[in-house]
Each structure stands twice: as C-alpha cells, then as structure tokens.
Structure 1
Amino acid sequence: MFILAYPVVVCVAILCIGSLYPELKYHRIPNYLTFSGMAAGIFYQCAFAEGIVFSVAGLLLGLGVLLPFYLLGGMGAGDAKLMGAVGAFLGPAGVFEAFLFSALIGGVYAVVLMTIHGYLRQNLKRYGRILKGFFITQEFIYVPPPKEMKDIKLFYGVAISVGTLFSVLFP
C-alpha cells in the first residue's frame, strides 16, 4: 500500500506502547498522551513529510471511525482520541488500515474474553434467538445480555495499539 518512514513507525510504536500501561492500570488513556500524539503527528507531517492536510485528514478519520462507538457507549473517548493521534501520523489510508486491524484484533479479543468468562455459548444462543425471532416475526426483538456479562472489561485501547502496530510493521 504505502511505505512508512522509519520515524513515523517509531513514533506510532511509542504512542501505542505508551498507551498500554494507563489503559490496563487505570482503564483510561490520558489526554496528555492522545493530544500530544496528535500534535506530534501534525508537526512531523508538516515539517518532514506529507503536510498538514494529510495529517489532519488522518486525525479526523481516526476520530470519526470510532466516534459513533463512543457516542453509543461502546468505548471510551480515549480510545477514539488514540485512533485520532495514530491518524495524525499515518494519514487517512494508514489510519483506516490501522482501524481495520484494530477491529479484527478487538473482535478476537472479545471472543477470547467471553470464552474465558464462560459467556461465549450463552451469547451465541442469545444472538440465535434474536435471528430466529427476526425471521419468524420480521421484527427485530433485542434480547439483552445478562448483567454479569457487562462486568467483563474489554480494554479497546489494547486492541487499537496492537492493531496499529500490526498495520505499521506488516503493511
């Protein structure tokens, strides 16, 4: 697709690895990390590479792909801002690729967590009931997950970091 400059890979790796500790320990990605990552990405792209339009477009796309999930309560704002910071370095095409890798890794991560906690079979049955109800009644009837399942913590910043690292190391 495109070849990334070595400094971009190093900066993105530092950003992603640096976000893991606060995400795992405090369940949040701090603003000082995400906003400084955005500023560094814009600065780097303006000073040494593609320019401000490339960087800001990547930042906005990075925020935009995760903003709906944040607004629906599926993830924290730090996750969306982290993807925006990644976009400031990688630009639109790079952040979209990082998003796809992150979504894939996030899905595998969720399945592993459900398996570990013993909810995978129960969740598959629940979705089966939803589909069966739809085909019989032609209406979407949502079956909520059990309350215990909501206690499972999925740290999506980890999926973003790992997915982004995969996307820059194995383009």
Structure 2
Amino acid sequence: MSEQSMGDCYLFFYLAGVLIAAAVVDLYLHKIPNLLTYPTVLIALLYNLIYYGFHGLMLSLAGLLLGSAMLGIFYIAGGMGAGDVKLMGAVGAVLGPKHVLNAFLFTGIIGGIYAVFIILVRFEASKKVLKRITATVKTLVWTGNFIPIPAAEGEKPPKLCYGVAIALGALLTMGLKAAQYKLPI
C-alpha cells in the first residue's frame, strides 16, 4: 500500500472518530463543538494539498462549501444548528464534493427515519409542534404573511440531534466507498 493510500485510510479513520464523537456529544449536549469540526476541516485541506496538490485542495474546498451549503439552507430556515452545518462541511472537506452528495442523501434518509422515531416516542410533544406548524402554514397561505407561532412557555419541543444522522450517513458512505460499492451519485 502506498504512503498516499495509507494517508487516505488514516484520514478516513480520523473522520470516523470525529463523526462518532460528534454524534455522542450531540446526543448529550445538543450541540456539536467547533473543537471537532474546525480541526477536521484544516486537516482535510492540508492533507489534500500535500498529497494531491492544488487540485486536491480545490476538491476539498468544493466539498467543504457544498456540504456546508446543503445544510446551510436548513440552518437559515431555523431547522438546523450551526454545528450540524459545520460537521457536514467537514465531511465534505474530507470526502470531496461527489461523496458529500452521497453522504447528504444517506443523511436525509436516516434523518427522516430518525424524525419519525422521535415523533412516535414523543407523540404528545410532536402533536403540539405540528399544530403550531400547521397554523403557521395556514396563516402564510391565507394571508401571505409568515408569522411563526412560538412554543408555549415551558413547552419543550422534541429534540432531533441531527449530528447522529450526519454521522450515520457519512459512515455509510465511507463504508460503501471502502467496499467499492457503486454509490447513488
């Protein structure tokens, strides 16, 4: 195995460790610390520059921007935390633009399944949230004004730790890539 291939393996194992740590921290603290995401981005950019030159750096930057942009839309809409965006950006910096698309696809599928699970487990809280969302959408449709209805005082909406879905989606992408399985994108 060449030095470059070994480096790729080390980088993937590093990312796997970061993803697992991010998922665990997100589950317990409901945030993904910059201490996990920023060093991962820096390591990915430097690694790709050293081993693949300017072209590798550009691919890593493209993955970073694409990964961040895909979840950034949900962050702007208020449905996702900044840590989730940075984690997907870090995944993109390591995997590159092509494979971050696969990770995003798998993350979306896993995140959807996870959301259904949370809704079923926290049914009463989920009903209240869905009623508020429905009222907000009706107001938007009938009046053209977007007026979000805030949660009642003391009401805690169900928490969806999307770092878990990102970790599983990225790990699935990495595993399928390592097994040389044909990925969807």
TM range (shorter): 0.7 to 0.9
Equivalent residue for 1:88?
Answer: 93
Structure 1 pair 108–120 and aligned structure 2 pair: CA distance change class (3 A): farther
Give yes or no for the alignment of 1:163 onto 2:169: yes
Deviations 1:2-32 (A, max 9, x none): xxx4233212201201212321221111112
Return the alpha-carbon distance in structure 2 between the equivalents of residues 81 and 100 of structure 1: 17
Q: Write the distance in 2 (CA, Å) between the matches of 1:111 and 1:21.
A: 20
Q: Does 1:42 pair with 2:50? A: no
Distance (whole Å) between structure 2 residues aligned to residue 105 and residue 40 of structure 1: 27
Letter in structure 1 aligned against 2:173: S
Report the equivalent of 2:106.
Answer: 101
Once residues 9 and 60 of structure 2 are traced to their aligned partners in structure 1, the CA distance between those partners, rounded to angstroms, is 17
Aligned-residue offset at 1:56: 0.2
**Match of residue 116, structure 1, among 95, 114, 121:** 121
Give the C-alpha shift of residue 118 in structure 1: 2.3
On the 8 A contact 2:24/2:164 being kept in 1, the answer is no
TM-score of the two chains, using structure 1 as the length reference = 0.79
Q: What is the identity, as a one-letter code, of the residue corresponding to 1:30? A: P
Q: Is the 8 A contact 1:67 1:80 kept in 2?
A: yes
Gaps in structure 2 of 5+ consecutive residues: 1-7, 177-182
Q: Structure 1 unaligned runs (5+)?
A: none
- Aligned-pair distance for 1:33? 1.1
Kept in 2, the 8 Å contact 1:105–1:163? The answer is yes
Match of residue 36 from structure 2: 33
| 1:66 matched to 2:59 | no
Task: Specify the code of the residue in structure 2 equivalent to 1:6.
Answer: C
Q: How many aligned residue pairs are there?
A: 162
- The AA in structure 2 aligned to 1:62 is G
Q: Is the 8 A contact 1:111 1:120 kept in 2?
A: no
RMSD after superposition: 3.0
The alpha-carbon distance between structure 1 residues 115 and 143, as it changes in their structure 2 partners (threshold 3 A), is farther
- How far 1:100 moved relative to its partner? 0.6
